[in-house]
Amino acid sequence: MVGTARLRFTPEQFHQLGAMGLLDPERRYELIEGDIYEMTPVGPEHGYTVDIATQTLAPRSKPGEYYVRIQNPLRLGESEPVPDISVVPGKPEDYAHALPTTALLIIEIADTSLERDRTTKLALYARCQIPEYWIVNLSERVVEVYREPQGEEYRSLRRYTLEETITPLFDPEWRVQAGSLFPQTP
């Protein structure tokens, strides 16, 4: 009896599949540790929250030191996740020919993706030594801030309510009110 083999893809193979038209260009995909995941469609609340968070964070970029990327892939080892927001070192021109291989901060906006963001993606980001990972948890209206990566986990988790202020590790001058990352409810 022949067992079932799991096919794992390298980033190069992943890109070849796309170039050959084997991945639907109307859908979004990410590569996590050799597995290709179809990303869920961006719903109105998720998209609006990405826009709100971007308006809050992007003006804080320091050209040459770091900047904010929106829904663009990173190359983390053999994975190419597509976080909603990442703060990467350098300037956009640094990545004209290669994806960033690290981030100072990764932010995922989580509604239907909450479980995967807390498990699969968290383990990847911790293993790749991303120093800080935030989940903007839409259902509970809190920001989960993970710090101190160790192995496949983060040793520190703090949940910030809308009224609280978060100071990212990479720049103590930043002060982000957790509520500014969420759409305001009428």
What is the residue range of 101's domain? 42-181
Q: Is residue 125 part of a domain?
A: yes
Number of other CB atoms surrounding residue 169 within 10 Å: 13
Q: Is residue 35 part of a domain?
A: no
Chain mean pLDDT for the chain: 92
Q: Is residue 31 part of a domain?
A: no
- Give residue 5's pLDDT: 74
Encode pLDDT of 99-146 as tens digits.
Answer: 999 999 999 999 888 999 999 999 999 999 999 999 999 999 999 999
Is residue 132 within 8 A of residue 108, CB to CB? The reply is no
- The total of structural domains in the chain comes to 1
CATH number, domain with residue 55: 3.90.1570.10
Q: Is residue 175 part of a domain?
A: yes
Determine the longest span between alpha carbons in the chain, in angstroms: 62
Q: Give the three-state DSSP class for 89.
A: strand
Q: How far apart are CA 118 and CA 159, in angstroms?
A: 13
The pLDDT-based confidence of 1 (bands split at 50, 70, 90) is low
Encode pLDDT of 26-49 as tens digits.
Answer: 899 999 999 999 988 888 889 999
pTM of the entire structure? 0.92
Encode pLDDT of 59-90 as tens digits.
Answer: 989 988 999 999 999 999 999 999 999 999 99
Q: Is residue 15 part of a domain?
A: no
